[in-house]
Structure 1
Amino acid sequence: MFQFDTGLRFPEKTDSPPINDGFWMRLLTIFLANVCDKQWYRRWKKSNQGVFYVSSKLCLRCSERTRLNEARAMQFVRDHTSIPVPKVYCSIVHRGQVCILMERLPGKPLSHNWVFRSDESKAKILAQLRPMIAELRNVRRPPPPPGSPSNTDIVSGIDGGQFYDGNLPNKRYWGPFSTVREFHRDLRSNLMAVPDEYTEKHFADVRKLVSLHEGYLAVPPVLTHGDLSANNILADGDTVTGIIDWETAAWMPAYWEYTNAWHVNPYNPYWQAEVGKFLEAWPAELEMEKLRRKFFDVY
């Protein structure tokens, strides 16, 4: 039988607090959410993954997978970087669902016309993305409250709670984890060893994955978007105008941004060739993630 280690978890904090949820902003957000939920509005204004375009300057995100962590991530990134990110006007929980009222940025997703862009146009876009992502990765994590244990090595959401990733196995919400090693163990369902009598080739690969995970020399987690696909980067002409869809933002292993972006949306296979042009490549960790995904597949 495989050996499992259930390990202790870092104390759980599930989500971030609301933003600007005073009476009038809450009332406005609820009103807009109710309007956007009407069938006539949905026919008139098609939503995009739970995002409703209220006006040319305003949009509302409400879906079952939306979390307050996403709003907090956008606020945090706006406060600590120069990356073009939507301004959050209000985030609330209403009838068990999170609603985020935020700025609508100009431009269209790169997926809209990337394959038709010239090489020169692509190079201009990627040249703008490189310093943005470098800036994101250099943001320092806020220290824990006085008297609390160090949070330097924790894999978590923006405020130390759970994080969302719909491409991870078995569940949607993960963590927090006290170390990268603990995170790796949960990724493989706490599998710790494969008996020697299992001699087939795929069992050798599983042993290799366990060895790579357990022997991984982790650096402190870094601020990570988690889904840098062509769908989530906006541009107007050759100018990057925004990075959106921060629902998977978290403090993650340093390689995570690259390996997640490399495993692209199957509808945008061309993006895989571009990832290494604006993100630091992690080839050894990519091979590790390929093995992990082979045996512990996506959700």
Structure 2
Amino acid sequence: MSHAQILDVPKLGPINDGALYRHLTLFAIAVLRRIRPFEGSVLMLTDRICVKYGQHLDLSEAATMRFISQNTSIPVPKVLCAFTHQRCTYIVMERIKGNYIGAGWVYRSEESKAKILAQLKSMVEEMRKLPPPAGMGVGSVVGGPLYDGRVPGTSLRFGPFSSVQDFHRHLRGGMDFDPKLDPEVQELIRQHDKSFPIAFTHGDLSSLNILARGDTVVGIIDWETAGWYPSYWEYTTACQVNPQNSFWINEIDKFITPMPDELAMERTRQKYFGDF
């Protein structure tokens, strides 16, 4: 694909959601959820097929994986079926055979780590070269609401926003500039009002969302937080590591271009308007 090409906004909707697929999926979950392994919200139906389901999910995650698969070489799960039933979304996918790179990372040789990080760097760069559809602001792959449980707010989903500045205003709880504000907050708002390009973003590039076999990255998973965001968002969200992932902070700058000013800006925002 030429990166000068303007991409169409993917359509939001069910995928292969005929009655047979729906019934088989719901029946399999009812029978297997007590005996097959779960990983988060993902139930392993067979050695080759899994289903991710829950009320917090949205069909845009399935659309995202198809979008990435069709427009990049990044390895993602193949979506077999996706639908919503009684306010719960189900995404049936092929399982990718691989191990979380977080498992045993500290035991890898420096050469092995370098090979994996080089592949991740190439994948992130490829994703960031995707041109946003005409008129796209901050939103999901289909131009709809976004999901990220780490973003403060009362709603499960937020957006879309016609501009980065509107997104930033949301992150500040609607607060606008006022000379009476704390000087640090005034400076944050000045930074927020600058121009930031839009880039397609995974939004949670934790070592727990990257699969490898040997020294080869074979899958990027968990695309529920993905969408079109300001260009710094991939870096700043990756830097918000959880306790299971604490070692990963030392690797992020090796596969995502460091943005120290934007990271400082985000930390100020979290200080005043809600931490991750």
Same fold (TM over 0.5): yes
Q: How does 1:48-67 map to 2 (within 5 A)?
A: 48-67=39-58
1:41-98: CA deviations, max 9, x gaps? 2xx3231111011112110111232211111111111111111100000001111100
Match of 2:102 in 1: 111
In angstroms, what is the RMSD of aligned CA positions? 1.6
Q: How does 1:252-267 map to 2 (within 5 A)?
A: 252-267=229-244
Aligned: 1:175 with 2:153 = no
Residue type of the alignment partner of 1:208: E
Query: Is the CA contact (8 Å cut-off) linking 2:179 and 2:186 kept in structure 1?
Result: no
Match of 1:32 in 2: 28
Match of 1:294 in 2: 271
Query: Is the CA contact (8 Å cut-off) linking 1:226 and 1:257 kept in structure 2?
Result: yes
Query: What's the % identity of the aligned pairs?
Result: 44
Q: Which moved more, 1:81-90 or 1:57-66?
A: 57-66
Tell me how far 1:195 sits from its aligned partner: 4.6
Larger Rg: 1
Query: Is the CA contact (8 Å cut-off) linking 2:65 and 2:223 kept in structure 1?
Result: yes
2:259 to 259, 263, 282: 282
Structure 1 stretches of 4+ moved >6 Å? none
Residue type of the alignment partner of 2:30: N
Match of 2:174 in 1: 190
Give the direction of change, closer, same or farther, for the CA distance of 1:139–1:36 in structure 2 (3 Å limit): farther
| Structure 2 gaps, min length 5 | 1-10
Match of 1:209 in 2: 188
Query: Is the CA contact (8 Å cut-off) linking 1:33 and 1:99 kept in structure 2?
Result: no
Q: Secondary structure of the equivalent of 1:246?
A: coil
Tell me how far 1:264 sits from its aligned partner: 1.1
CA distance in 1, matches of 2:232, 2:177: 24
Residue type of the alignment partner of 2:151: L
Match of 2:72 in 1: 81
Aligned: 1:218 with 2:196 = yes
Q: How does 1:91-170 map to 2 (within 5 A)?
A: 91-142=82-133, 150-152=134-136, 154-170=137-153
Query: Is the CA contact (8 Å cut-off) linking 2:29 and 2:45 kept in structure 1?
Result: no
Tell me how far 1:23 sits from its aligned partner: 2.3
Number of residue pairs matched by the alignment: 265
Match of 2:6 in 1: none
| Structure 1 gaps, min length 5 | 1-14, 143-149
CA distance in 2, matches of 1:240, 1:49: 21
Residue type of the alignment partner of 1:181: Q
Tell me how far 1:283 sits from its aligned partner: 1.6
Q: Secondary structure of the equivalent of 1:86?
A: coil
Query: Is the CA contact (8 Å cut-off) linking 1:165 and 1:248 kept in structure 2?
Result: yes
Query: Is the CA contact (8 Å cut-off) linking 1:234 and 1:240 kept in structure 2?
Result: yes
